[in-house]
Amino acid sequence: MDIELSKQDLEFQAEVEAFLDEHLPRGPEIWTKRAEWFTSLREKGWDVLNWPVEFGGPG
């Protein structure tokens, strides 16, 4: 499948990659930094509680 991403899609992709580089725990610290990871997701608005109903969230 060949998908051409829009400029908006590419910008969002770059935003997600930068967020993961900055916040995603790596290696053994993934277990000790778990709470911080979920806090980062919530602060960014990327936690399940913020998902729209059409994507399985509570709206």
Cβ 25 vs Cβ 34: under 8 Å: yes
Spatial distance between the Cα atoms of 59 and 55, rounded to a whole number of angstroms: 9
Higher pLDDT, residue 40 or 2: 40
What are the structure tokens assigned to 52, written together?
A: 């729209």
Contact residues for 14 (Cβ-Cβ < 8 A; gap 6+): none
pLDDT in tens, 11-39: 999 999 999 999 988 888 888 888 898 89
Give pLDDT, residue 56: 64
Cβ 25 vs Cβ 40: under 8 Å: no
Give pLDDT, residue 54: 82
Spatial distance between the Cα atoms of 18 and 26, rounded to a whole number of angstroms: 14
What's the pLDDT band for 59 if we cut at 50, 70, 90?
A: low
Q: What percent of the chain has pLDDT over 70?
A: 90
